């Protein structure tokens, strides 16, 4: 049965190859000081930085630089961003980059006016902000996380060997996000396919829970088929606009909270992957792909009905003359073949994980109860060993 819920999404999106011009409509809503958040400098090479800065200057904004956001934003970087924002009395945090920049901007937004330690309050104690929140806007350059239209933020603490995500409420969601598929063209192929798998797994995390015949599951199946279809085009022609635009749009819908409405959610692949990432600092989408198949094969008997449906509806597995278990396993094999085709990681060893890290990764894995099987630490350890 579809559960009871209320739904809001506070983010305004501008989508398309001319969408950056709409930054001119948003900037007048905010004060003079804009903290410009970006990553390692690729936006300076491909010209996006110059376009954005020109628009900011044309709108009379004072640009405060905050570059160097890493793929897995660290707590040290968060503290640096908080300091920059406080010292410059910023009125808007403008993220120009991928999901890591968006995540980081949201973490800064709830921390600037907070009188407690941000890591302890938001990522260890999982508390909600009680202070004034600095608004966030996003110009997206990588499709994958869906961070452009949700309240999620993931921060890594390497000293504590923890990588933790906090999904904040709608007041923390970006006020606006600009999505131009052409801005994703310059991504290296490995980053593109990591983002593609991130999209796919976001859908899986919400799909593989419950046995309900509900609207969310039908939407999820369509989104998964769209990702699969477009990914096969994009890996052959990364500048196919239709494929890249469909990937970008699907990424947003995969995690803007819509398909989670009225049902439970799993998210154990993310808990496993994030703990691997805390030890290896590997690309997020690759940590997910590396643990997914061992996890899904382990829990399949507990959610056999949904895995059978997944095989038939998403992968077009013919059920004739087969047991439910054979159908479900054939679906996971089709998923594995697709993962190999697009080139994602299928084990954590290639990401830098070793046998002697398994106990630590196990201890760093948060156990959730929304999926088909609540795992024990011993079961997590077994899944991780099968992921090596």
Structure tokens at 288: 């997910």
Cβ atoms of 260 and 206 closer than 8 Å: yes
Name the phi and psi angles at 51, rounded to 5: -65, -45
Cβ atoms of 384 and 280 closer than 8 Å: no
Name the phi and psi angles at 356, rounded to 5: -75, -5
Give me the pLDDT at residue 8, please.
87
Q: For the chain, first and last CA: distance in Å?
A: 38
Cβ atoms of 75 and 48 closer than 8 Å: no
Q: How far apart are CA 313 and CA 282, in angstroms?
A: 32
pTM above 0.85, yes or no: yes
70-85 per-residue burial string, b: 16 or more CB within 10 A, e: under 16: ebbbbbebbeebbebb
Domain architecture of the chain: domains with CATH = 12-183 (3.40.50.1970), 189-387 (1.20.1090.10)
Structure tokens at 4: 């009871």
Residue 321 CB partners (closer than 8 Å, separation 6+)? none
Q: How far apart are CA 40 and CA 264, in angstroms?
A: 37
| pLDDT one digit per residue (tens) for the chain, 388 residues | 678 888 889 999 999 999 999 999 999 999 999 999 999 888 999 999 999 999 999 999 999 999 999 999 999 999 999 999 999 999 999 999 999 999 999 999 999 999 999 999 999 999 999 999 999 999 999 999 999 999 999 999 999 999 999 999 999 999 999 999 999 998 999 999 999 999 999 999 999 998 777 899 999 999 999 999 999 999 999 999 999 999 999 999 999 999 999 889 999 999 999 999 999 999 999 999 999 999 999 999 999 999 999 999 999 999 999 999 999 999 999 999 999 999 999 999 999 999 999 999 999 999 999 999 999 999 999 999 999 9
Largest CA-CA distance found in the chain, in angstroms, rounded: 69
Q: How far apart are CA 196 and CA 178, in angstroms?
A: 19
Which of 71, 291, 97, 284 lies closest to 196 in space, CA to CA?
284
Give me the pLDDT at residue 1, please.
67
């Amino acid at each position: 049965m579809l559960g009871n819920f209320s739904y809001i999404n506070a983010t305004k999106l501008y989508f398309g190859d001319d969408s950056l011009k709409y930054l001119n409509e948003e900037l007048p809503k905010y004060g003079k000081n804009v903290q410009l958040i970006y990553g390692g400098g690729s936006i300076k090479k491909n010209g996006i930085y110059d376009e954005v800065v020109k628009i900011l200057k044309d709108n009379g904004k004072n640009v405060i630089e905050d570059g160097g956001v890493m793929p897995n934003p660290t707590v040290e970087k968060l503290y640096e961003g908080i300091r920059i924002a406080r010292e410059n009395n910023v009125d808007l945090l403008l993220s120009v980059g991928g999901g890591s920049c968006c995540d980081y901007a949201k973490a800064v937004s709830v921390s600037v006016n907070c009188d407690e330690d941000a890591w302890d309050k938001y990522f260890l104690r999982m508390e909600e902000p009680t202070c004034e929140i600095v608004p966030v806007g996003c110009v997206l350059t990588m499709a994958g996380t869906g961070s452009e239209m949700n309240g999620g933020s993931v921060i890594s603490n390497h000293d504590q060997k923890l990588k933790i995500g906090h999904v904040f409420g709608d007041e923390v969601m970006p006020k606006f996000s600009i999505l131009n598929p052409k801005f994703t063209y310059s991504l290296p192929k490995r980053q593109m396919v990591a983002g593609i798998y991130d999209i796919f797994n976001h859908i899986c995390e919400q799909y593989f829970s419950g046995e309900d015949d509900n609207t969310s599951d039908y939407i999820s199946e369509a989104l998964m088929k769209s990702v699969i279809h477009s990914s096969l085009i994009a890996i052959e022609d990364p500048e196919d606009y239709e494929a890249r635009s469909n990937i970008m749009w699907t990424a947003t819908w995969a995690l803007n909270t819509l398909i989670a409405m009225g049902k439970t959610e799993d998210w154990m692949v993310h808990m496993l992957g994030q703990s691997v990432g805390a030890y290896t600092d590997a690309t997020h989408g690759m940590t997910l792909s590396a643990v997914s198949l061992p996890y899904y094969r382990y829990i399949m008997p507990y959610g056999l009905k949904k895995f059978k449906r997944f095989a038939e509806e998403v992968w077009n597995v013919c059920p004739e003359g087969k047991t439910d278990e054979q159908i479900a396993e054939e679906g996971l094999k089709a998923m594995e073949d697709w993962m190999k085709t697009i080139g994602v990681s299928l084990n954590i060893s290639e990401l830098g994980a070793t046998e002697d890290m398994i106990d630590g990764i196990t201890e760093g894995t948060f156990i959730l109860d929304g999926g088909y099987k609540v795992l024990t630490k011993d079961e997590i350890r077994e899944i991780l060993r099968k992921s090596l």
